[in-house]
Structure 1
Amino acid sequence: MNIKIALFSLSSLLLAAGFLHAQKQVYQSQFERSAVDDNKMKLNRDKEPKIDDSFKPLFNGKNLNGWHQATGTAKFFAKDGEIIGIGNNDKDVPNSFLATDKTYTNFILSLEFKWGEHLGNSGVMICAGMDGKGLVAGPQIEIETNPERAWTGGVYGERCGAWKYSLSRKEHDAARAAVSEFRDWNRLVIKCDNERILTWVNGVPCANLDWPQGAFNILDGGFIALQVHAGGASEIRFRNILIKELPVKSVFQKKFRKGAVADENMKLNSDKEPNLSAGGFKKIFDGKTLKGWRKVSGTAEWSVEDGAIKGVGNNDKNVFNSFLATEKNYKNFILTFKYKWGEPLGNSGVMVRAALDEKVSAKERELKGDAVKGPQIEIETNPERAWTGGVYGERCGAWKYSLSRKEHDAARAAVSEFRDWNRMTIMCRGDSIKTWVNGVPCANLDWNNSWFDASNGGFIAFQVHAGGVSRIFIKDVKIKELR
């Protein structure tokens, strides 16, 4: 009996180990240690960009004007329309990089490469910079000569965490076979657009990576550099180095650029706040009870205190955000209310045209309850970001309208004191959502119903964000329904 139990236990352990191994699902098992998990790698299914007259040369074909050697002892020189990099056996120096004097943020880069007499390891740095030790760091597009691994076109984090996108999936077979002859000219095309990196080798799609900013910040761009790896004699040649710069996501608050919406996708709200003294407004909170309201998710406590709705959060991080919602649904309307923060501060918002998320699984619902989905108008207390009045897609794609443009300065300054009463006004009509904070215009968004279908309206709900102790007070909640 004990032997059977032992065999069963061993069998279970082996099955568990097999399961854990399957989670990584690396097709080239001999390179599993350095490969990226499959579920973190999206496939590049885009066609290689067309290289046309809109591209400008980065190399004049005659000399290295516009370039400089950033690190290393390899020799770089120009000859017969090529940049040639010659490595050596010096293992006590950093990798060698020939870098552009100019920096680039969003672009398509095309170049041709081939190896000379001695094979080796190389790559192309993009949006790169110098780290605190004076060494080159950032995303590197791999150029290698190991025929078994064959990860040319993958993305390596030079001095920032090693491989970010390996070519280790079964679906990468074509990419791994894209370089057939190392000493023939091969074409590498790299597209870096709003922090997404796509690569092609000889027209074959390779990497598709959303670069992790925590690894190395490329938000402001950086130089392009050609590598000769240290520690071995090698010869790499480059020619036809062309670049086409793309529009940059010009976000005024660079610190919050990752969460911001591209400027060109945000229309400015230049309208005056609606006349709140006009007829047609009705109270939807009586100042005494929560009649007409219901708690729909989360574990925050809702009550009435001194004529205001009081929402009190807690430190429970294992629940969905808390919402107090109207029992009635609304479609086209002007909503106005006042709010202020108690002690401590937190994060809140007001949902409009919202609904319960039907995609919450039965298991999740049992553990966490219901979740709310739809457009949320932000109420926050981060004085640096200050996106109160912006529009967030709750459980439908995050920010839809951030307050990150230079022209949003007045909107970002609209809340001067978090613990004073502030007024928010929201107008929903058709697909349009416009907001004002203390009379200052904020968002002007045409809601895309493919994000979440709000075309038939939904409930209004005040939020207390999960995972933190906070207190928010809301009063004078009035609505005017529109046709």
Structure 2
Amino acid sequence: SAGLYDEARRGWLYPMDVNPAGQNAFKKDAWNKYRIECIGSSIRTWLNGIPCTNLVDNLVSSGFIALQVHSIGKNDTPGKQIRWRNIRIQTSNVKPSKADNIFVVNMIPNDLSAQEKKEGFSLLWDGKTTNGWIGAYKDTFPAKGWNIANGELSVDKAAGGESTNGGDIVTVKEYGPFELKFDFKLTEGANSGVKYFVTLSEGNKGSAIGMEYQILDDLRHPDAKLGKDGNRTLGSLYDLIASKKIANSTRPIGEWNRGFIRVNKNNKIEYFLNGIKVTEFTRGTPEFNALVAASKYKDWKGFGMAPKGHILLQDHGDRVSFRSIKIKEL
């Protein structure tokens, strides 16, 4: 309750998985007090005084206020009611409420809101240049295989091979615990990934070694059916842990998806897809080590346990685009 959903257009913009405190604000069988604040591109909600959502979005700037009658299933129990009271609105002399500290969903490409800056986020890619990025196992950014246009950083379509065209790109800087936001857009049958704790110490062929947030067209790419129990599908910890498959959590091919990786100081790692938590694990535990031992990474000593490493965008020979790449060091 108090999450933000874009009806008949973009679906969930701010589901409450990214704000656990807000998830618990609703009171069953009691009156709940909602507050919605829309000022410019800022949309925020509160429930019973608890901050629930903080969205930055400039798609529309005005519209009707509506009270919804949702679909009623044939097996629903008769007599259910939703009641409203004390509906009030202010449209003049409106001033923003004081800043909170909840997760910000920013739908404006390559933009940092004031609160994101306050929380410590910075742009990992500036939306225009190759600054801060080089090719994996290279001293410079790849001369081919990647292109920048219209605020998008894209892998060029090649033969679908792993790092055989331009090759992977990595951050110049290494990172330990962090929060990473990124938008990605797939083409039909495409494969890519975001890797982290990439040390570039292995000197291997193909894609550089690191833990991976899998980016894949599950319906059309054969990798979705390989591995074990779906652990190579979209949002999975690649080849180790399958992501949860939750209805309406994925945008159609050709539309932008929002990825989020949180690497906590206690080694707990969480993956989110469009605001919904799809994968969770703790590196270094016996369970994690057993998964590594049964994976394609079994021969890489200490896989996933580096204290810090580069962040990597994968070239798998398919057209995939990125934007709004932001990081906060913890």
What TM-score, normalized to structure 2? 0.51
Deviation of 1:319 after TM superposition, in Å, equals: 5.6
Give secondary structure in 2 for the equivalent of 1:336. Answer: strand
Of the three residues 301, 318, 326, the one matched with 1:478 is: 326
Question: Aligned to 2:209, what secondary structure does the other structure show?
Answer: strand
Task: Quote the residue 2:68 is aligned against.
Answer: none
* Contact 2:198–2:310 (Cα < 8 Å) also in 1: yes
1:131-150 equivalence runs, <5 A: none
Within 1, Cα distance between the matches of 2:134 and 2:270?
26
Q: 2:131 is matched with which residue: 267, 284, 291?
A: 291
Q: What is the DSSP-based 3-state SS (H/G/I as helix, E as strand, rest coil) of the residue aligned with 1:433?
A: strand
Query: Does residue 1:332 correspond to 2:141, yes or no?
Result: no
Other-structure match for 1:315: 159
Q: Matches of 2:304 and 2:211 in 1, distance apart?
A: 10
Maintained 8 Å contact 1:313/1:464? no
Q: Cα gap change, 1:447/1:329 in structure 2, threshold over 3 Å: closer, same or farther?
A: same
Task: Describe the superposition over 1:116-144 as per-residue Cα deviations: whole angstroms up to 9, x where unpaired.
Answer: xxxxxxxxxxxxxxxxxxxxxxxxxxxxx
Q: Secondary structure at the match of 2:245?
A: helix
- Looking at structure 1, the residues matched to 260 and 160 of structure 2 have their Cα atoms a distance apart, in angstroms, of 30
Using a 3 Å threshold, how does the CA distance of structure 1 residues 453 and 420 change in structure 2: closer, same or farther? closer
Superposed displacement of residue 475, structure 1: 0.6
Residues 218-252 of structure 1: per-residue CA shift (max 9 Å, x gap): xxxxxxxxxxxxxxxxxxxxxxxxxxxxxxxxxxx
Equivalent position to 1:460, from 274, 294, 311: 311
CA distance in 2, matches of 1:332, 1:353: 10
- Aligned counterpart, 1:76: none
- How far apart are the structure 1 equivalents of 2:147 and 2:161? 21
Q: Do the aligned residues in 2 keep the contact of 1:325 with 1:459 (CA within 8 Å)?
A: yes
- For residue 349 of structure 1, give the secondary structure of its aligned residue in structure 2: strand
Q: Is the 8 A contact 2:196 2:210 kept in 1?
A: yes
Give % identity. 26
Flag structure 1 segments of 5+ consecutive residues without an equivalent.
Answer: 1-269, 361-367, 393-398
Q: Match of 2:95? A: none
Which has the larger share of helix? Answer: 1
Distance 2:269 2:157 in 1: 28
1:357–1:371 Cα contact (<8 Å) kept: no
Match of 1:340, SS?
Answer: strand
2:163–2:207 contact (8 Å) kept in structure 1: no
**Paired residues, what number?**
190
Q: Could you tell me which residue of structure 1 aligns to residue 252 of structure 2? A: 417
Match of 1:401, SS?
coil
Q: Distance between the aligned counterparts of 1:437 and 1:336, measured in 2?
A: 10
1:126-181 C-alpha deviation (Å, 9 max, x unpaired): xxxxxxxxxxxxxxxxxxxxxxxxxxxxxxxxxxxxxxxxxxxxxxxxxxxxxxxx
Task: Give the Cα–Cα distance (whole angstroms) in 1 for the partners of residues 216 and 121 of structure 2.
Answer: 26
2:272 corresponds in structure 1 to: 436
Deviations 1:17-48 (A, max 9, x none): xxxxxxxxxxxxxxxxxxxxxxxxxxxxxxxx
Structure 1 CA distance, aligned partners of 2:160 and 2:321? 20
Amino acid at match of 1:480: K
Q: 1:409: Cα distance to partner?
A: 3.0
| Offset of residue 357 of structure 1 | 4.7
Q: Which runs of 4+ in 1 moved over 6 A?
A: none
Q: TM-score normalised to the size of structure 1?
A: 0.36
Stretches of structure 2 lacking an aligned partner (at least 5 in a row): 1-15, 20-101, 105-114, 225-229, 290-300
Q: Partner of 1:253 in structure 2?
A: none
* Structure-2 change in CA distance of 1:471 and 1:319 (3 Å): closer
User: 2:120 is paired with a residue of what secondary structure?
Assistant: coil
Q: 1:451 and 1:381 mapped to 2: Cα distance?
A: 30
Residue 272 of structure 1 corresponds to 18
2-side partners of 1:416 and 1:383: how far apart?
13
Bigger strand fraction: 1
1:301 corresponds to which of 142, 145, 149: 145
